[in-house]
Amino acid sequence: MVDASMDAVMVSDLDLRVIYYNTNMLELAGLRPRELRRARAQGMCHNHFGLETCDEPDGCVARRAIDNRRHLRVDEVRCASPAGDESRRLIIVAVPLLDTEGHPYAVLEQYRDVTAESRMQEHYKNLLKKERERLERLAAEVEQQATLARTDPLTGVANRRWFDETLAAAIDKAVHTNEPLVLLMFDLDHFKKVNDTYGHQTGDEVLRQFANVLRRCTRADADVVARVGGEEFAVLMPGCTLDMAVKAYCRVREQNARTGLLTTCSCGIACLHIDADNASGLFKAADSALYASKENGRNRVTVAADLDACPLAAPGKGEALSAGPF
């Protein structure tokens, strides 16, 4: 039965001298019969296989099996091949042979070479790792493409399509929870004159700087800033009151002046539940309020609920453009 085993097997006496082995043991150890016969099992594994378990006497699997009178198993032990040209992996099982009174008289050791299986497992692990990394890269690329698809390429804020989708979702939520929702529409005053006077490259820089002003003056974790037209921007502020929205415009106008942009900004504000109850109505109300700000002198804010009120007055119509730095 032992001779027919596919594993390497040897039997040692209590002094750990080999008294029996099969041919597979010879092949595994890389020894000739006379070298293996009566050799000591303790230390032999280490000498011929480089097994870590046999570096010390207490680490010998066979000795521990005899002393503890129970079988022991050591999995995935790395060892050198007899030729020393490759690394092998073994599973070692040591079983004490007991007499009728339960005393050990010998120990059987079984060595299973699982090198091929382990290498196959490592191969598949590496394949899975590479596939996981590929999927992570693909997911990152998809996310990047999704970000680009919803971002205005010039200013880096949301584009019109993403803003329309976000507005519809925000209104659905606000209607369901009965929470306030405010929409601010911004337009850069006399922007065409900026392009005509300083060139489109300068005009593009003004748009980028104004988008940055909007981001600095709004809540990054809640508000949505978008470019919805050439020089038109929108800010969606969930959970905000009208008073909070007006204060936000004040911050924008102040920051805009500090930045030294070549133009001022006008604003229109509309509130859900007050000025409209759907996306198109809210957008139209804010746009009408913005138009009123432009008509009444620019550089001011108008609330849709009272188009005749202009709480932030402009210096006057036809104000001169500043030639200061950005």
- Enzyme catalytic residues: 231
Helix axes 200-216, 191-198, angle to 10 degrees: 140
Residue entry with tokens 């050439």 = 230
* Beta strand 18-21 pairing with 232-238: unpaired
Helix, strand, or coil (residue 7): coil
Whether 270 contacts 276, CB under 8 Å:
yes
Helix and strand counts by DSSP (H, E) for the chain: 10, 10
User: Are the C-beta atoms of residues 14 and 67 closer than 8 Å to each other?
Assistant: no
Residue 304 contacts residue 285 (beta carbons within 8 Å): yes
Element spanning 284, H or E: helix 279-295
**Which phi-psi region, left, alpha or beta, contains residue 108 (left: φ > 0; alpha: ψ -120 to 50)?**
beta
The separation between the first and the last C-alpha atoms of the chain, rounded to the nearest angstrom, is: 90
Question: In Å, how far from its chain's centre is CA 150?
Answer: 20
Residue the block writes with tokens 């005393």 = 103
Residue 110 has phi, psi (to 5 degrees) of -120, 125
